[in-house]
Amino acid sequence: MAKIRTQKMRKKKGSNTTLLVVIGLVLIAGIAYVVNSGAPSGQGASGEVMTLAEARRAIDEQYVGRGLSPTSTGPVREGYIPVLAPRLVDENLKLPSYAYTNPITLNAYKFAIEHPEVLEQIPCYCGCGSHGSVVSEGKPHKSIRDCFISDGGVFDDHGSFCDMCVGDAIRTQKYVGLN
């Protein structure tokens, strides 16, 4: 009787890893493009620090011409007391896993926590002002800060998958010189 040999199908190693790396690089490149492409010439891009009102105008100008609607964020106010108190991000603060999507997203989450008084005065243009999120119980977001953390300090995953929100948070951080 002849023995029948069975051969195991060998799985190609690294194909899933390579695909994930490529997707990650494309995502990071996309976010970097969004962050860098919106800088008006002579402001922010050249290292000049803007006032918060100037940063708000620069972000508004970028989207209004494209017909996008902002969240119902009030006007910029000097001496604004934030709804959510600022806090330093240290090793004891437990950020959710989705905040670690990539270094740029992590930076945006940290900025939202450390400087809510800035992001609470910047509108969001991605559309979350009409649909909100699970954390906001479907209520519309009021500012771009809501895309990362709620009034009650609960983290929102919206910022982890929205390139526009991450880009605008990082762009604002750069414009006002808090990077």
pLDDT digits (tens, 9 = 90+) for 29-77: 555 554 455 444 434 555 689 999 999 999 999 998 899 999 999 999 9
Model pLDDT, residue 79: 84
Q: Coil, helix or strand for 51?
A: coil
- Are the CB atoms for 24 and 159 separated by under 8 Å? no
pLDDT digits (tens, 9 = 90+) for 123-166: 999 988 787 788 888 888 899 999 999 988 899 999 999 999 99
Q: Would you state the structure tokens that stand for residue 3, as one six-digit string? A: 């023995």
- Are the CB atoms for 156 and 147 separated by under 8 Å? yes
> Which residue, among 138, 167, 176, 177, has the nearest Cα to 31 in the 3D structure?
167
Backbone angles phi and psi of 154, in degrees to 5: -90, 130
User: How many residues are present in the chain?
Assistant: 179
- Are the CB atoms for 147 and 158 separated by under 8 Å? yes
Q: How far is residue 169's CA from residue 145's CA, in Å, rounded to a whole number?
A: 8
- Are the CB atoms for 112 and 148 separated by under 8 Å? yes
Q: Which residues of 125-139 are buried (b: 16+ CB within 10 A; e: fewer)?
A: bbebbeebbebbeee
Global pTM reads 0.73
Model pLDDT, residue 43: 45
CB atoms within 10 A of CB 32: 15
